[in-house]
Amino acid sequence: MGFRNWRSNTPGWGTDGMWVRLDERAVSPVVGVMLMLVITVMIAAIVSAAAGGLSEKEKKAPGAILEVSIYAAKEYNGFTMPSMTVRHVSGDALQTKDLQITTYYRTPSEQIVKGSLSGQAAVTGNDICTSAFKADKYCGVLFISDEEYEEKDMIRDSDSGYKNWFGNPSATFHPGDVLATPAQLCRASGPTNNPSMEYLFPGVNFPADFPAGSVVTVRIFHTPSGQIIYDKDVLVT
């Protein structure tokens, strides 16, 4: 029969009544510690991978300073027309296909009007517009240009789109560029309206329901990131 050795660094009787050598008694704690370390490393790796995946999916909104102007009756070479422009003052270039423009307007009769432009959309002229912009011709609701852009660069024979129309994959909005409506194409001897303003402000009776001094809330969203890059109340001049 053996004897119990109470010294921690020598063999002795175990708690189960069996004689245990020192190295056998040390195996269980060491294995436990190693398993805990492995599990900790695995959990850390999983959390890191998940966080990395989230950061890759999360898109950052571009930084840009924009200036929106809205006119009740802007003068164009001897005639006036309601119109709207968006000027890119500075910052990142913007892909217009990634933008959505919304307008909120309260008419003098207290009617709430909401308009939205997302993706490429076209409007047609009419028989009293310029000779180039008739009812069978198309122009983008907004297009990248200066306000005196040549007609040939705005008007198309179909609504399939063009490289400078808002929403076109090729239409990149750079600092110094202007998004404009085809107001200058609507000049005529008699009264006529800007079809793009009718698109952006559906149901508004121009010019009676759109006087100078009115206020329009304009928001521009960057759809991939879900962020608003412009949100202001714009005074109609």
Render pLDDT for 167-182 as a digit per residue (tens, 0 to 9). Answer: 999 999 999 999 999 8
Give me the pLDDT at residue 135, please: 86
What is residue 10's three-state secondary structure? coil
Q: Judge whether 194 and 102 are in contact, CB under 8 Å.
A: no
Render pLDDT for 74-130 as a digit per residue (tens, 0 to 9). Answer: 888 778 889 999 999 999 999 999 999 999 999 999 999 999 999 999 999 877 677
Q: What is the reported pTM? A: 0.73
Residue 53 has pLDDT above 80, yes or no: no
CA atoms lying within 13 Å on the CB side of residue 67: 8
Q: Where do the structural domains in the chain lie, given as residue ranges?
A: 12-57, 64-235
Give me the pLDDT at residue 89, please: 97
